[in-house]
Amino acid sequence: MTAALHAAKAGADVCVVDSRPVPGAKMLLSGGGRCNILPLSVDAQLYATSSSPNTLRKILQSWRLDDVRGFLENTIGLRLVEQKRTGKLFPATGGGEDVRDRFLAALRRSKVRLLTNTKVIDILPNERRRVAVESGPGIVAAQVVVATGGLSYARTGSDGFGFRVATSLGHHVVPPYPALVALRNGRFEHTALAGIAVPVRLEVGDGRAKRVAVGDFLFTHRGYSGPVVLNMAHHVTRGLALGEHLPVRVAWLDRSESDWTEALAGSRGTVRGTLKEALPDRLVDRLLEELGLWDATLSSLRREDRARLLQALVAYELPWVDCGGYREAEATGGGVPLGEVDPKTLRSRIVPCVHFCGEVLDAVGPSGGYNFLWAFVTGRLAGEGAALARGG
Ligand SMILES: Cc1cc2nc3c(=O)[nH]c(=O)nc-3n(C[C@H](O)[C@H](O)[C@H](O)COP(=O)(O)OP(=O)(O)OC[C@H]3O[C@@H](n4cnc5c(N)ncnc54)[C@H](O)[C@@H]3O)c2cc1C
């Protein structure tokens, strides 16, 4: 919709084609219905891509956050409120449905035609009717902007068509992987920890490839979630797509070994009692059960047991077995490589009548409005680029 609005503003005759009865279904789901539409600040390093991070940064910088906000306020007509504590921006009233409706109204004002319940099945660059649809004749288009999303939440319309068509057009699509997704637990006993939330430092991988983040961790009935897990999951799932099982290690409370050594040294009773002063009871019981230190007292703790205990406190290896998959993943990583599009117009370097924008491109951000930001910024570039290119 952002691409369409910008193409229309640049003078193009625009038609939005969508397989769903109404486009923008994800806006209704986002931010628990409230629609976390933007972050309050941008850090390009928080995005994951297999393409050049420099290209990603340049694309992001093409539209300043303040100007994106101005577009939402002035063109779309949203009133936005800042949530300083979480660094997020929300609509002041109405939530996702209102955001979606205002986008649709802006399309109407810009005289953009909307063709819904129309599934695109192919793009045929050598035909005049380039956009082949499931039923009926193809659609005549000088330029086609592919804004079909990834594979997440297929019921909202994004079923991976964009990846398939990009591949058939000759692009070397980076294999997609679920992002912003919970991990499944491989130890039945951890199910009993469901509901426990604790701040942690999370490490994914080893050596130079290790990634670290701090945030809230949540045990669920099926595994591990919470903001820090969701935001780090793409490292795990990208590894999975390559056949790797990366270790995920947790430092409870984001404490270091020396923090815990100090806490244990200043205490005389049982290990359990001391740990329970800092950590949730059920978690402490579970850790000590796994370590076989159920009844241990601090004074009787052998050296090797103390080392194992510290390891479990600062580098506990999560027994994860899988991730929640695309049905649960709020975004999809991988996609059309940024090097295969012109970063200024997002025009395909392989098929000049095609542009790409949004999640179909090889970039995915953390939660917090980063993925809508990417959709808006790339939508504007692709829309303006397509309008510019329509002459030839
Ligand atoms: C549950 C959930 C919560 C989220 N919360 C947030 C959040 O709070 N903040 C944030 O920034 N991001 C959030 N996201 C991510 C964000 O919604 C997406 O990154 C963003 O919507 C991607 O925009 P897009 O236009 O590229 O693709 P999409 O929004 O997926 O739109 C793709 C459109 O293409 C249409 N389409 C696909 N294939 C075809 C076809 N063959 N023919 C015709 N039409 C087709 C679909 O019907 C759909 O309308 C959330 C996602 C989910 C699933």
Confidence (pLDDT) at 392: 60
Contact by Cβ (8 Å): 378, 130: no
In the reported structure, the alpha carbon of residue 155 is separated from the centroid of ligand 1 by a whole-number distance in angstroms of 10
Per-residue pLDDT, averaged over 184-209, amounts to: 94
Residue 52 CA to chain centroid, in angstroms?
18
CA 285 to chain CA centroid, Å, is 34
Closest CA to 264 of 253, 276, 252, 249: 276
Span 249-300, pLDDT tens digits: 999 999 999 999 998 887 788 999 999 999 999 999 999 999 999 888 988 8
In this structure, what token pair is assigned to residue 225?
Answer: 């979630």
Burial of 115 (0-12, 13-18, 19+ CB in 10 A): middle
d(CA 318, CA 170): 40
Ligand 1 centre to CA of 170 (Å) is: 24
CB 140 within 8 A of CB 130: yes
Give the pLDDT band of residue 117 (cuts 50, 70, 90).
very high
d(CA 219, CA 92): 32
Which residues share a beta bridge with 114?
16
CA distance 203 to 249: 5
Q: What is the phi/psi pair of residue 218, to 5°?
A: -130, 130
pLDDT digits (tens, 9 = 90+) for 90-106: 999 889 999 999 999 99
Ligand 1 binding pocket mutation candidate from 26, 328, 332 (most atoms within 8 A of CB): 26
For ligand 1, whether the C-beta of 26 sits within 6 Å is yes
Cα(313) to ligand 1 centroid in Å equals: 39
User: Does residue 391 carry a pLDDT above 80?
Assistant: no
Rounded to 5 degrees, φ, ψ at 275 are -65, -35
Instruction: Provide the pLDDT for residue 317.
Output: 97
Pocket perturbation via mutation, ligand 1, pick of 6, 17, 22, 30 by most ligand atoms within 8 A of CB: 30
Q: Mean pLDDT across the chain, nearest whole number?
A: 95
* Ligand 1 contacts CB of residue 149 (under 6 A): yes
Please determine, for residue 328, whether its predicted confidence score (pLDDT) is greater than 90: yes
Probe ligand 1: pick from 104, 123, 148, 164, max atoms within 8 Å of CB? 148
Whole-number Å distance, alpha carbon 358 to ligand 1 midpoint, is 8
**Residues 197 and 216: beta-carbon distance below 8 Å:** yes
Phi, psi of 373 (to 5 degrees): -55, -45
Which residues partner with 374 through β-bridges? none
Residue 369 neighbours by CB under 8 Å, 6+ apart: 36, 37, 38, 39, 88, 89
Determine the atom of ligand 1 nearest the C-alpha atom of 38: 11
Backbone angles phi, psi at 278, to 5 degrees: -115, -35
* CB of 96 shorter than 6 A to ligand 1: no
Quote the pLDDT of residue 267: 77
Report the pLDDT value the prediction gives residue 187, as an integer from 0 to 100: 85
Task: Determine the Cα–Cα distance for residues 8 and 59; give it in Å rounded to an integer.
Answer: 21
The residue count of the chain comes to: 392
Instruction: Give the domain ranges of the chain.
Output: 2-178+329-389, 183-323
Residue spans of beta strands (DSSP E) within 24-162: 38-39, 80-83, 88-91, 113-115, 120-123, 131-133, 144-146
Structure confidence at residue 299 (pLDDT): 87
Average pLDDT rounded to a whole number, residues 119-136: 96
- Per-residue model confidence as pLDDT tens digits over 306-327: 999 999 999 999 999 999 999 9
Q: How large is the average pLDDT for residues 386-390?
A: 95
Q: What is the CATH number of domain 2-178+329-389?
A: 3.50.50.60
pLDDT for 32 beyond 90: no
